[in-house]
Amino acid sequence: MIITVTMNPAIDKTVDIERLERGGLNRIQNVEMDAGGKGINVSKTIKALGGESLAVGFLGGKAGEAIESVLKDWGIPADFIQVGGETRTNLKVVEKMGEVTELNEPGPAVSEAQVEELLSKLESYADADTLFVLAGSIPKGVDKNIYKVITERVHKKGAKVLMDADGELFVHGLEGKPDMVKPNRVELEAYYHLDYRASESELASMGRKLLNNGSSLAAISLGQMGALFLNEERIVRCPGLTVKAHSTVGAGDAMVAALAYSWDKKLDFEHTVQLGMAASAGAVTTIGTKPPAREVVDELVKQVVIEDVKE
């Protein structure tokens, strides 16, 4: 069973323009509205791949109702805690050449009692056959160590955790020893206090340290250059796939979804890598934060090249 935890969901409003004119008039060519937040995006992609997940987190107001309605239409079960205030709306401005500018609202505040209610809910679902996906930002009122707390509490029930976070959430989250992690290059460079662009071998060494911390799988996103994947036996590099891109929004979430889906279906390392690369590449071809169709992913899997990396 996969449970995606979205503590700060959003209505994702994606607008297409020719070129962003700062301080001037910008005419919008197209608008897309999607139920979003990283965990929800993961759930949508898992569904598109043919899998199932339960979406959990906090929702509030009319925007929260809209998100629940969308999840119901998708056939994605949900068990959100209702909070005061309005679930945020995030604006993503996509220019014709692919540049993306994101304006994200903070979201409603959450009380300590509501955080504890969520923790109790997650513990009730936790067992040896459960994978929790902890992804994205957190709302006001929630401590930056929340991913560590969740990980430690569900681990006691035998559950596994896949974490995709940045900044302090990533730093503190690693203290809980998540079972799988998906940082990108920038997040790793910041975590290891590098003031320069790390080489591929340095990134591989950083990934190995993540495994030594307790993770069984690490996926390091390199953007359009591809990704590195590590487990206890292998380190591999996959060059980026050539696709007709709309924007990079949602690519990381799609990779996380593929990792979770692969865990649930007990796929081996190579199939996990192939699916992760293909789902991520497929996501950049869609408009808004919509997931790629399974048929698109299956075609892209055929293009994935896996190269072993020596430390």
Q: Is 92:12 a contact under the CB 8 Å cutoff?
A: yes
**Which pairing describes strands 307-308 and 10-17: parallel, antiparallel, or unpaired?**
unpaired
Separation between Cα atoms, residue 220 and residue 229, nearest integer Å: 6
Q: How far apart are CA 163 and CA 169, in angstroms?
A: 10
d(CA 142, CA 153): 16
Tokens matching residue 225: 């250059």
- Helix axis angle, 251-264 relative to 269-283, nearest 10°? 150
Distance CA 252, CA 133 (A): 13
| CA 198 – CA 173 distance, rounded (Å) | 22
Distance (Å, rounded) from C-alpha 142 to C-alpha 135?
14
How many other β-carbons are positioned within 10 Å of the β-carbon of residue 169?
A: 23
Q: Which of 289, 292, 287, 290 is nearest to 276 (CA)?
A: 292
Q: Which residue among the candidates 12, 34, 253, 264 is catalytic per the annotation? A: 253
- Is residue 56 within 8 A of residue 131, CB to CB? The reply is no
**253 given a catalytic annotation:** yes
Cβ neighbour number for residue 19 with a 10 Å cutoff = 9
So which residues are the catalytic ones? 253
